[in-house]
Amino acid sequence: MSGHDHHDHHHHDHDNHFTPIEARVKALESLMVEKGYVDPAALDAIIETYETKVGPRNGARVVAKAWTDPAYAERLKADGTAAVAELSYGGRGGEHIVAVFNTCEEHNLIVCTLCSCYPWPVLGLPPVWYKSPPYRSKAVIDPRGVLADFGVTLPEGQRIRVWDSTAETRFLVIPLRPAGTEGWSEEQLAAIVTRDSMIGTGLPQLDAAS
């Protein structure tokens, strides 16, 4: 069973509509590669870093603080944007962040059905699959099947709630804190929080702890 929150006014930064600045960056990037000033592989490595490492580490710190500081968790529930800003994360893509907390009864999954609205300051660049039509449609129709595609099997009794992100409301999933992490520091906890667990397509990875 899944609940799908749909907003009638779904305004987006569409994938194929760049702002003037973004268009200039794209053009400059193409020129740099064409002239041989930039190695495409190096460029890919930089993008991969921001997609999977730098950005999601911000979100992981938010999650770890929510796990260890009940007062912060309450502030995060009440006003996600303000609570995230407490950790100096914000800016474009960080407006109107809503934190949704997983429980034993409910697992949250984020999708943007019409484009790729995404909380960049806490999750970095959206992964390629997040923008894909198959993910956008299947997440709404068959969320349990999507999780299976990502190798995630939830208990039968845990329902899945699907949240439709928009430019006005961008969601951050606060995953359940894994058992066996009592007494861990925020730094240790942040290390097990994956990007996918903050989208809802994954779970924290205990084997990621150093």
Q: What is the pLDDT along the chain (210 residues), one digit of tens a residue?
A: 444 544 444 444 444 456 676 677 677 767 667 767 667 777 777 666 666 666 788 999 999 999 999 999 999 999 999 999 999 886 665 568 999 999 999 999 999 988 768 887 888 888 888 988 999 999 999 999 999 999 999 998 999 999 999 878 999 999 999 999 999 999 999 999 999 999 999 999 988 655
Structure tokens at 55: 């950005």
112 noted as active-site residue: yes
Rounded to whole angstroms, the Cα distance separating 84 from 200 reads 18
Do residues 189 and 67 lie in contact, with contact meaning Cβ atoms separated by under 8 Å? yes
Out of 2, 117, 132, 137, the active site residue is 117
Out of 30, 88, 112, 132, the active site residue is 112
Radius of gyration of the chain (CA): 18
Q: Which residues are annotated as a binding site for Fe(3+)?
A: 112, 115-117
Instruction: Decide if domain 2-6+57-208 falls under CATH 3.90.330.10.
Output: yes
The model's pTM = 0.76
Burial of 171: CB neighbours in 10 Å, binned 0-12, 13-18, 19+:
buried
Burial of 166: CB neighbours in 10 Å, binned 0-12, 13-18, 19+:
buried
Out of 30, 88, 115, 210, the active site residue is 115
116 noted as active-site residue: yes
117 noted as active-site residue: yes
Q: Which residues are annotated as a binding site?
A: 112, 115-117
Helix 70-78 vs helix 55-68: angle between axes, to the nearest 10 degrees? 120
137 noted as active-site residue: no
Burial of 194: CB neighbours in 10 Å, binned 0-12, 13-18, 19+:
buried
